[in-house]
Homo-oligomer: A and B are copies of this chain.
């Protein structure tokens, strides 16, 4: 199609997060019939992508950037002009910068949006009155201060869980094989949801005025826009809206 602007989604990290991004692109598009919806290509090849946190914590030498870049190149070959990757941890510079470097060589016209930057932009546009921002993320993102550094660079204060809460509550809620979100998404286990509610409470007690659900599994377990009055910021939503804005801005639904 002439002038068609395909949106690429680098999925599989995890699989349900990829689906969630595509759904949010559809949900935030003004459309009255099938043909009004935007062209989207989703590649979800989870077994190809080494675990992001294991690499960042030095438990593995295998940089997931190779597999991620290969998916992005395949999206470019399909005709995607812009792409998003619904995985916060994969935006850590040791991974994301390596992906961008390879794209500069192999797919220079594809614009891979940065979900962390888009989340901070969304936060400032929609919650400009919040300056103390809590962060719930994987251990890889926590230890590398992925969101904390980005928030501080934007003049905001990052509020992170205590190390103990991070390891025993937040990270386990994502990864635990018996009740974690990566193993049990449909339905989400009660213990996972309760753990996250208590982690939000822990951040609020430290002064958080809003909380970033900064692992793409988390908004699937806490889909509500706020919890006891504290806004929950969904990076997948921010990325979905950015992908529409960068392709068909006239179709972006008002919030």
Whether A225 is near chain B, meaning CB under 8 Å from some CB there, is no
Whether A202 is near chain B, meaning CB under 8 Å from some CB there, is no
Whether A74 is near chain B, meaning CB under 8 Å from some CB there, is yes
Whether A4 is near chain B, meaning CB under 8 Å from some CB there, is yes
Known contacts A177-B32, A182-B33; decide if A45 and B15 are in contact (CB<8 Å). Answer: no
CA distance A27 to B16 in the complex (A): 10
Whether A46 is near chain B, meaning CB under 8 Å from some CB there, is yes
Across the interface, do A34 and B14 meet the contact criterion of CB distance under 8 Å?
Answer: yes
Whether A39 is near chain B, meaning CB under 8 Å from some CB there, is yes
**A47 touches which one: B12, B35, B48 (CB < 8 A)?**
B35
Whether A113 is near chain B, meaning CB under 8 Å from some CB there, is no
Which residues of chain B have C-beta atoms less than 8 A from A32's C-beta? 177, 183
Whether A169 is near chain B, meaning CB under 8 Å from some CB there, is no
**What class of interface size applies to chain A in its complex with B?**
35 or more
Across the interface, do A1 and B42 meet the contact criterion of CB distance under 8 Å?
Answer: no
Known contacts A33-B177, A41-B42, A43-B41; decide if A19 and B22 are in contact (CB<8 Å). Answer: yes
Whether A37 is near chain B, meaning CB under 8 Å from some CB there, is yes
Across the interface, do B39 and A44 meet the contact criterion of CB distance under 8 Å?
Answer: yes
Which residues of chain B have C-beta atoms less than 8 A from A35's C-beta? 46-47, 49, 51
Across the interface, do B23 and A19 meet the contact criterion of CB distance under 8 Å?
Answer: yes
CA distance A49 to B123 in the complex (A): 37
